[in-house]
Structure 1
Amino acid sequence: MAVIATISSSPSTASRTDGVLSEISRQLQRAGHLVAPIVLRDLPAGPLLRGDADDPDIAAAVGSLEAADAVVVSTPVYKAAYGGLLKTFLDLLPQFALRGKVVLPVATGGTPAHVLAVDYALRPVLASLGPSSISPGWFVLAGEVTLFESGEVLLEESAARPLREVTAVFLDTLAGRTLLGARPERREAVA
């Protein structure tokens, strides 16, 4: 059993980003892992904006991240980039806060025009924190997520299926397995 930190960086209490993250969290728990949520909107704004890593709430969030074996990072996409709340938190982390961890990046947004935000905006920042691996991430269109007043989340199959797949790859990577298989056979050159 691994401890997997999940970072919720949506500023809204009822968000599609959190709905997607809750679906991933359920899959992680079904696989027998412990999920340790880090909800950035619940951190004190003043210390977070000042980068005060000594604030007790900020220190607890950073400690939770550092104690985890793996991390799922979720973010809404605004103006073709990951959210400012996430950026603020990532900026106060120690240089190699993700060392030895497998990371799964997931984003939600309103238009397919922002689908590359995961790979071209978020992935390089996560890579700078030294993870052992960043598994393939996924971008979910907001229109594929329905939130109900009861708190239930419904993902259209066009979002649910690829999320299950990237989460499975993440879990396989965490377990030390690879979907790439063995090394290709070496072929001798024919003269």
Structure 2
Amino acid sequence: MSDRPSSTPDVVVLVGNPRAGSRTRGVADAVAEALLDRRGGPPSAVLVLELAEIVGVSFGPEPAYGAKTHPDPFTAVRSARLLVVATPTYKGSYTGLLKVFLDQFGHRELAEVVAVPVAVAASPAHAEAAASALRDVLGELGAHVPAPPLAVLESQLTDAHEIATQWADRHSAAIDAQRATVA
């Protein structure tokens, strides 16, 4: 029996872009939608957590405070049955904003979560590096990552829905099978 709160959506999209409403979010939304379209069954609630709106970051003398959000983003991530984590690539890796957020989870704390890492970058090497690093940190936190991460080039963002659809066509069965064993 899972200890997931009943009020937590089945699918959580976590966006690590320091700018809300980014193209990274668009890719993450497209991935979640494509996976849910292939799953069938009753519609799932989707919760989008944009770290730019949640986490307070300051590089000046005054502290920054994140927005008070409901539900609690940490509880939502821990309780997700499917977690889509998307990040732009900064200096060859996922964003520091996402790192700060993920560092709040203990080792194997996401053991009941199936995760899909998504990275966006200007070059293929950076996209692959960030996607791999994100997969590795999610694995360290205990999340199940049954499919390869999705690495999307900035030049392909206008085709995000098509890219997400093709990726989901190849990997949704493995993700659904893992979700069934974690439930």
TM-score w.r.t. length of structure 2: 0.73
1:3 pairs with one of 1, 10, 15: 10
Shift of 1:113: 2.9
Higher-Rg member (1/2): 1
Secondary structure of the structure 2 residue equivalent to 1:175: helix
In proportion to residue count, which structure has more strand?
A: 1
Q: How much is the aligned-residue C-alpha RMSD, in angstroms?
A: 2.9
Higher relative contact order (CA 8 A, sep 6+): 2
Shift of 1:66: 1.5
* Alpha-carbon separation, structure 2, partners of 1:66 and 1:109: 27
2:155 alignment counterpart? 143
* Alpha-carbon separation, structure 2, partners of 1:68 and 1:160: 23
Identity across matched positions, percent: 28
* Bigger mean CA deviation after superposition, 117-126 or 96-105: 117-126
* Alpha-carbon separation, structure 1, partners of 2:146 and 2:110: 10
1:69 aligns with 2:81: yes
CA deviation map 1:69-97 (0-9, x unaligned): 12111000011111111101100123223
1:1-191 map, 5 Å: 3-30=10-37, 31=39, 32-45=43-56, 57=69, 60-145=72-157, 154-155=158-159, 160-176=161-177
- Contact 1:103 1:133 (8 Å CA) reproduced: yes
Letter in 1 for 2:91: K
- Contact 1:71 1:104 (8 Å CA) reproduced: yes
| Matched residue count | 160
Letter in 1 for 2:45: L
- Segments of 5+ residues of structure 1 without an aligned counterpart are 146-153, 178-191
- Contact 1:104 1:170 (8 Å CA) reproduced: no
* Alpha-carbon separation, structure 1, partners of 2:57 and 2:154: 30
Letter in 1 for 2:24: T
Shift of 1:57: 4.1
Shift of 1:58: 9.0
* Alpha-carbon separation, structure 1, partners of 2:107 and 2:143: 11
